Structures are given as structure tokens and as C-alpha cells.
Amino acid sequence: MGTLAGKTAVIMGASGKANFGAAIARRLGAEGANVVVTARREEPLRALASELGGLAVGCDVSDEQQIERLFSAVREHYGRVDIGVYSAGNYAAGAIADLTAEQIRPSLETSFIGALLFFKHAAAAMSDGGSVITMSSLTARIPGPGLAVYSAARAGIDYAIKVAAVEYAAQKVRFNSIAAGLINTDMTAELFEMDPVVQGHLRETPAGRMGTLDDVAEAALFLADEGRSGYINGQVLDLAGGQQMGHLPRFE
């Protein structure tokens, strides 16, 4: 019996074949949790839920009523919510000089506003305390050109978890974030076909390797499990092999 047996986990953003949400759902399910997978695209959700013996619920995070209905459906089906993982987001790239409001808004709607509303309704459903986790990015820790929108939305939520940890202390709901480095997923697969990109990241990563979906899933399990991380709250866990530290110039 796994350490999450009897717990219910809701994973937002789990509709990809190889993405953070799907990997986390599989790992939490393997540890015994009742798994609820949710995203806008319902067909891949149903396949994953069937694989895990869980529940699939369609939800568009730009609509707060859908988020509220998601958690109502989970409580009706399983009777409780213990873990919430927010892994939804859209990638937006562009120099600040070229940005328009129309380019900026979708990332804020999903990565920032949607995440805050997920926090609100996840915590409201956690009558016995719980753990809320959001996926962030190395790009919110160290700057790179063209990433102002994507990085700022992630960095904003990384600070919001600290506020949430304080506001929900009495409910014993913990909030933490995972700031992942470049990892091979549905969204980044093309980058991994560009050897200069991979080698450039490896040169700056003290761990000497790229991260994997298994690394992400294990980090999420750690933060989800009260027995493993019950005294960790309001923190950003850097999952980038040390790349997040940066360094002074090297002279060889």
C-alpha cells in the first residue's frame, strides 16, 4: 500500500502524452492516490483516467465556474480532496518591444489568474488540510531574452504561494512550487532535437545531465505527501540540477 492510499489528488493540465501533469498523475496513482485528471481537452484525459482507474473532468481554467464545478465533482465522487497540482500553462515568447496586449493576456489567464483560482477552490475543498503544488520554471529564476510574459507569470505565482501559505495556515493547507529546468516534454521536444541547445544547458548544469519527467514526478510526490514534506510550506523547489544558481565567468 502506497503512502497516498485513501488520498485524492486533482491534477490540472494532464492531457498531454508526455507532460508534467500526466507524469505526476501516474506517480501519485502508483503511490495509491485516487487520481483526478483535468484539462480542456477531454479525450486524452479519459484515456489517462482509464489507465489509472481514476476520474477525468474537463475544465477550462479561464472560467472560474468550471474550476468550482471541478472540485464539486471530485468531492461528490471521492468525498474529499487532499492534493491539488496545477500544471496548466501556455508558452509565450517575444521581445518586450514587440509584445501586444493580445499576446500577453492568454499566458496571464492560464499561468497566473487560472492558478490563483485553482488555489482558491482547491483549498476550499480541502476540509482536512492538504497540499497544493504548482509547476513553475527555471525561466522564472534566471532571466532570458524573449521570455518576459512566460517568466513573469510563473514568477508571480511563485510569490503568490507564499501569500497562500500564510492565508491558509489555519486550514493546514500547504502551498509549494516546482521550478523545473528544460525537460523533454510534448512542448519542448523540438528543442531536444537541437544539439547546441542541449549542450548549452548541460554546460551550465552542475548535475551534468538534463532533467526528466521522472524527476518532476518524484518532486511532486515529495511535496504532495505530508509524511515526506509536511514541514515545507511556501517554498519554490528548484528542479534544474543546479542551473538555477548561475555562476561567475569561468576562466580556463
- Active-site residue numbers? 150
User: In this structure, which amino acid lies at residue 75?
Assistant: R
d(CA 197, CA 29): 33
Residue 10: C-alpha distances to residues 83, 100, 132, 228 (Å) = 6, 34, 9, 19
Instruction: Record the cell numbers describing residue 171, joined without a space.
Output: 486550514
Cβ(157)–Cβ(115) below 8 Å: yes
d(CA 126, CA 147): 34
What dihedral angle (degrees, nearest 10) is formed by the CA atoms of 144, 85, 233, 82? 180
d(CA 154, CA 140): 6
Place of cell 489509472: 52
Residue 62's nearest CA partner among 19, 10, 116 is 116
The Cβ-side half-sphere exposure at 89, using a 13 Å CA radius, reads 25
Instruction: Record the cell numbers describing residue 116, joined without a space.
Output: 490563483
